[in-house]
Structure 1
């Protein structure tokens, strides 16, 4: 039994980690850090978890990390790097923030507005897109979870770029996401009266930070710079991401490449040609559904990917990576079916 700590346990991804680990046969939650709510019980912060026997929330400084086998860090970016830099150098860590996703410190400064404060940790971090970095993740001490939007777009595109099946200079990612991706902090634009009964684009014109991950990963696959057009939209829904990706390429070949690439993947399911996924069919699960169809314009294809931003896009991915880091079965505690309706 491995003893686990979760930092940032009072946020959405922290609560999702607790929900998943609660049924894990090889992990025990030994410490929950949440500085802003220290001294409270999880049943006070998240009543849906009141049936679980969980430790009280404490400040991070109160946790004895010598007794911890692996730590999930679900803190905001900038905060996360400072906390992780101060943790024991032998501690296995899965970070859910943006702080260690980018390999280039100058790229981090550009996209996140400040110099990185933990360059040694940044240098050793492994990018946490499980299906493409398994071997590195197994050997890693620090794994950097991906952005949820970035993960969705990459599942739709990585095999196509690697196979030379699409025009790399004509890729459009039109993405819709639920509001839980913005975190639990109070924000005026996320009030019910501001958000419900409508949807809107944000990060328009190439300003969204997850573009940095697309640039990094797609360019590495192609061996030359690749820049995609990416516009996210905020939906009046709690969970889920739906990415509609427009590419130049032959539909049958694109579907075949995705089907073959993911044939043995437990959580990536490519639908029969012409079928398209929905966020309602992956809700609360660690599964990603991918569909391919042709466009009325010859030589163009549409790839649509759906996943739950809190599970496969964040906390589920984090647990999948932690299983690998602890030499456990990768799918452990992650195979529960989606919640429907």
Structure 2
């Protein structure tokens, strides 16, 4: 049994973590924090947790985290890096669901997030927490950077083709769509019901902050060859939760016919949370809601172009579920503990 703390417990990813961890047989939720809701009961803010998690929220101070063995940061970018070094010295294990430890290059992080990094020396010690890629490194890590939601769906979708060296990496197109919860719980006019309902809008067209994260990890999958030219356009869709990513790539040999189904099934054989759909079936967001599953289908068109369809729940496999998956790996628990719940039917 381990004691965990969730820093930033009242945001959507924080409370999703609590929802999942509340049923974990090897976890005791010791501390939950919120700077804005200090001393409130979490169940007063989220009544669905009444009788399940009736803990009081505390301020996110290191002294309030002293009893925890494992700490999740579900906080804005730049928060975890202010506390991580001391917590690691105190023997804690950390998973950060923000971007503080995702980048290898501190200059790139500063350029993308435009805030100074408080502990750049820890970047070399952190592990990028896409479980299906870095499972062995995660197992031995004390600091894990949970990937972003868009990178998760995109990288799982394209990984088999990149690793096989079969595609033209100079022209990768990613058309991505996310539910509104991906924008967080903060008040924002663009996220109001009347703005989002019956509407589809692109954003981050000039350069979404997940773009360099995806490029960084694609280079690694591409045998560290940096000839990655990625067009990435995200969209906001009128769903509470869910993410649908469509990836378009060309084969190096456009006339080549490849058994894509065999390639993907072999790559993800034995993976608990990646489902390669049968030929002719295509994923839907509702089939992964509230689950840690990524469903993928692949199609080679008559033109030779390959289309990959990848869906996840942005709050679960795209955030909290993947964080719990990583915690399970780090703590030698069964990887699917507390994550085997079937997706919503409706």
TM-score (norm 1): 0.96
Per-residue deviation, 1:165: 1.7
After TM superposition, list the pairs within 5 Å mapping 1:34-73 onto structure 2: 34-61=34-61, 63-73=63-73
Unaligned runs of 5+ in 2: none
| Cα deviation code 1:264-314 (max 9, x no counterpart) | 1000000012211000100000001001122242x1111100000000010
Q: 1:88 to 1:170 in 2, by over 3 A?
A: closer
Q: How many Å separate the matches in 2 of 1:4 and 1:145?
A: 16
Contact 2:31 2:65 in 1 (8 A): no
Greater mean alpha carbon deviation, residues 111-120 or residues 170-179: 111-120
Q: Using a 3 Å threshold, how does the CA distance of structure 1 residues 157 and 62 change in structure 2: closer, same or farther?
A: closer
1:67 deviation in Å? Answer: 1.9
Which shifted more, 96-105 or 54-63? 54-63
SS at match of 2:61: helix
Q: Retained in 2: the 8 A contact 1:251–1:301?
A: no
Residues matched between the structures, number: 339
Q: Quick check: 1:171 aligned with 2:172?
A: yes
Note the alpha carbon deviations across 1:179-220, whole angstroms, 9 max, x for none: 101110111111111111101011114x00111111111112
Post-superposition shift, 1:86?
A: 4.0
245-254 vs 220-229, greater mean Cα deviation = 245-254
- Pairing 1:309–2:314 present: yes
Query: Whole-Å Cα distance in 1 between the matches of residues 39 and 257 of structure 2?
Result: 56
Kindly report the root-mean-square deviation, in angstroms, between the aligned alpha carbons of the 2 structures. Answer: 1.4
Q: 1:54: Cα distance to partner?
A: 3.4
C-alpha spacing 1:267/1:136, structure 2 compared with 1 (3 Å): same
Seen in structure 2, the aligned counterparts of structure 1 residues 238 and 107 have a Cα distance that, compared at 3 Å, is same
Mapped partners of 2:280, 2:166: distance in 1: 18
Q: Which residue of 2 aligns with 1:274?
A: 280
Aligned match of 1:188: 189
Distance 2:46 2:143 in 1: 28
1:28 aligns with 2:33: no
SS in 1 for 2:290: coil
CA distance in 2, matches of 1:120, 1:251: 46
Which residue of 2 is the match for residue 118 of structure 1? 119
Greater Cα shift, 52-61 or 11-20: 52-61
